[in-house]
Amino acid sequence: MKLRRPVACAIFDLDGVLLDTEHFYTAVTQEICGEYGKVFDWSIKRNMIGRPSLESAEYLVDALSLPISPREYLSRRTRRLEELFPMADEQAGAEAFTRALAAAAVPLAVATSSERHLFELKTRRHRDWFSIFDAIVVGDDPRVKAGKPAPDIFLVAAESLGIEPCRCVVFEDAPAGLEAALAAGMQVIALPDPAMAREPYAAADIVIERFSDLAPADLGW
């Protein structure tokens, strides 16, 4: 596995890449949808992951014809997720991989669509680990004018690291995130959920199943 050009830093999405949180979103959304006799599955979720919360909620309500507003759905979902997020585990191999990069003095950033208060809940048990990242950019950062698939969040992360976008590599699990990183002029390593079809990741530079499939040396570090 090899990237097309050398890179100087690594930028990571949070949900489904560094932390195993996607199952929380799935379970809670199905709880809500199930109250109205609807089924929330990957045919719907694949079009939502990685996007800003309100945009995803609007899609869900429209796609399943839910008799609630997107904001009501988000309010109900958030209350339940806030109970679950502090229990989030790392995605297998993520901590070891990122710590290896940090030990090699590779600048690291997190770029997540999650709002700041949700990021803090998700990382509560992992504060020592997340202290190794040089920049954390969240979805409600005022510098991020548009959410994924717009490139804003990755451009802000690159600026925070002081590194040109063309010298960044992004680790993403969502098609919207892949699109955003490519629009930012960055290379992408995709880690799709096993339930996702692989076609949406065709434009990624590298596709891996897990972090153990890749070593820092594979990226020139």
Catalytic amino acids?
Answer: 13, 15
In angstroms, the CA 83 to CA 92 distance is 22
In angstroms, the CA 44 to CA 159 distance is 34
**Structure token pair of residue 121:** 């809940």
Query: How buried is 62 (Cβ within 10 angstroms: 0-12 exposed, 13-18 middle, 19+ buried)?
Result: exposed
Q: How far is CA 66 from CA 39, 174, 179, 183, in A?
A: 11, 24, 28, 33
Residue 52's nearest CA partner among 168, 170, 166, 174 is 174
